[in-house]
Amino acid sequence: MAYSTTVTRHKTREVAVGDHVVGGENPIWVQSMTTTNTFDVAETIAQIHRLEEAGCEIIRVTIPKKEDVEACKLIRDQINIPLIADIHYDYRMALACLDAVTSSGKRALDKIRINPGNIGSTERFKEIVRKAKDKGVPMRIGVNSGSLEEDLIVKYGFPCPEAMVESALRHIETAEKLGYHDMIISLKASHVPTALECYTLYASKADYPTHVGITEAGSREYGTLKSAAGIGAIVLRGIGDTIRVSLLGDPVPEIAVGFDILRACDRRVNRPEIVACPTCGRLDIDLERIVAEVEAKMAHLKDPLRISILGCLVNGFGEAKEADLGIAAGAGKGVIFKRGVPIRNVLEADMVEALLEEVGRFAEETPALESYQAKQKAKAGNALHVLN
């Protein structure tokens, strides 16, 4: 029997990162990280521009040396998305990055990312927090299984979710005592069940926004599947305010994967979703060709439209009710549906063009292509509806 469940979004504070606001009811932003030497300004900017073109909304660069700090000043002025300085081990690089934010408000960066567990001491962390507060710069506090404090390893015996969350809460408490609240938290792990449990436990204890990812996910093919399983499971629990898909090699493909994960989870639908039935013995039209052609011709659209393409009439009438527009076809002909209602009979040769015509009409009749699913989500107060 079909039933529906409602998963509400984890209520978090809002933290401004450049002109993007993270948390609250704001979009789940898709971000990435450059693979260049940051001090190579031209190469870094070129890669960021490719990422921007792919849809990247926040970008992170590594800062292992002073030349990278100076590079940030040049990079920030030539990109269009918020810039994050990623700090590992050398806390002095964090302080130098913060010093690069002038008193006039001109920014060489929009956020810093540190892992307090690997910068040496609580006092160093406090020094960074004080300067971040003074400069008005937000911070992502990263907790990883490989950088937990020694006393937590002794207490728990291994880097378990309880240890990682206790570490995050400890750093939050330290920062709050210094009057600092512009924090975003990440609890990444390469092991998907561990990451899921970490974020779930954290969400029950704190309300700072979270950055979600599966670290060291691996090669492009397997890393995509692993990230979809992990990030998808976490956001389906209503957790996550920014995400990053970590894939080996060129970071540009990470962006499409990130948006696809959010789209599949119905968290952020920024282009049409095409639903197609699996091939089976009833299939007697060239469904693969039709789906590929529709995807190619609708690739430029940026609207939350759901298209159903079904290779027979057996399930067409029922499944088409869940789509804005759809085709159910067989034996060289088919029916076009609009929200479950048959509106047009077509031949297989004319199916794609006929569907595109209906998409155009739908756009005229429905301003901003506000789909049925989007309307339902708004009525539910930003709840996520998952049909099983």
CATH number, position 33: 3.20.20.20
Question: What is the reported pLDDT for 290?
Answer: 80
Examine residue 287 and state whether it is found in any structural domain, yes or no: yes
Q: Over the Cα atoms of the chain, what is R_g? A: 23
Do 16 and 56 lie in one domain? The reply is yes
Average pLDDT of the segment spanning 334-359: 84
Give me 254's structure tokens.
Answer: 């990470």
Do 253 and 338 lie in one domain? The reply is no
Average pLDDT of the segment spanning 160-181: 96
When mean pLDDT is compared across 57-71, 81-95, 192-206, 326-340, the lowest value belongs to 326-340
Segment of 84-88, 179-183, 315-319 carrying the highest mean pLDDT:
179-183
Do 315 and 179 lie in one domain? The reply is no
Whole-angstrom Cα distance, residue 262 to residue 303? 14
Identify which has the larger pLDDT, 1 or 218. 218
- pLDDT of 39 > 50? The answer is yes
Question: What is the reported pLDDT for 106?
Answer: 62
User: Of 327, 293, 323, which Cα lies nearest the Cα of 310?
Assistant: 327
When mean pLDDT is compared across 84-88, 139-143, 318-322, 351-355, the lowest value belongs to 318-322
Identify which has the larger pLDDT, 187 or 277. 187
Do 126 and 230 lie in one domain? The reply is yes
Whole-angstrom Cα distance, residue 65 to residue 116? 18
Question: What is the reported pLDDT for 120?
Answer: 81
Give me 190's structure tokens.
Answer: 């390469």
Average pLDDT of the segment spanning 18-23: 95
Examine residue 179 and state whether it is found in any structural domain, yes or no: yes
Examine residue 77 and state whether it is found in any structural domain, yes or no: yes
Q: For the whole model, what pTM was predicted?
A: 0.83
Examine residue 384 and state whether it is found in any structural domain, yes or no: no
| Local confidence band at 200 (pLDDT 50, 70, 90 cut-offs) | very high
- pLDDT of 359 > 60? The answer is yes
Residues 105-127 have pLDDT tens digits of: 567 789 999 999 888 889 999 99
Q: Domain end: 245, 264, 283, which one?
A: 264
Question: What is the reported pLDDT for 4?
Answer: 44
Coil, helix or strand for 222?
Answer: helix
Alpha helix (H) residue ranges in 120-212 = 122-135, 150-156, 161-177, 192-203
Do 246 and 137 lie in one domain? The reply is yes
User: Of 46, 16, 93, which Cα lies nearest the Cα of 250?
Assistant: 46
Contact 308, 359 (CB under 8 A): no
Q: How many helices (H) and strands (E) does the chain have?
A: 13, 17
Beta bridge partners of 16: 21
| Local confidence band at 376 (pLDDT 50, 70, 90 cut-offs) | very low
Mean residue pLDDT across the chain:
85
Element of type H or E holding 55: none
- pLDDT of 383 > 50? The answer is no
Identify which has the larger pLDDT, 269 or 369. 269
* Tally of residues, the chain: 388
Do 185 and 281 lie in one domain? The reply is no
Phi, psi at residue 350, to the nearest 5°?
Answer: -105, 0
> What per-residue string of b and e applies to 367-378 under the rule 16 or more CB within 10 Å gives b?
eebebbbbeebe
Burial of 308 (0-12, 13-18, 19+ CB in 10 A): buried
Q: List the CATH number of the domain containing 308.
A: 3.30.413.10
The parent domain of residue 316 ranges over: 273-370
**Domain total in the chain:** 2
3-state secondary structure 330-376: ECCEEEEEECCEEEEEEEHHHHHHHHHHHHHHHHHHCHHHCCHHHHH
Do 255 and 306 lie in one domain? The reply is no
Average pLDDT of the segment spanning 23-41: 96
Do 96 and 199 lie in one domain? The reply is yes
Coil, helix or strand for 49?
Answer: helix
Do 244 and 350 lie in one domain? The reply is no
Do 124 and 243 lie in one domain? The reply is yes
Alpha helix (H) residue ranges in 236-321 = 252-264, 287-297, 316-319
- pLDDT of 377 > 50? The answer is no
Give me 219's structure tokens.
Answer: 């090669």
| Local confidence band at 352 (pLDDT 50, 70, 90 cut-offs) | confident
Question: What is the reported pLDDT for 367?
Answer: 56
Q: Domain end: 217, 243, 264, which one?
A: 264
Do 60 and 171 lie in one domain? The reply is yes
Whole-angstrom Cα distance, residue 201 to residue 205? 7
Question: What is the reported pLDDT for 386?
Answer: 35
Do 324 and 352 lie in one domain? The reply is yes
Average pLDDT of the segment spanning 363-370: 59
What sign for the dihedral angle of Cα 253, 258, 263, 264? positive
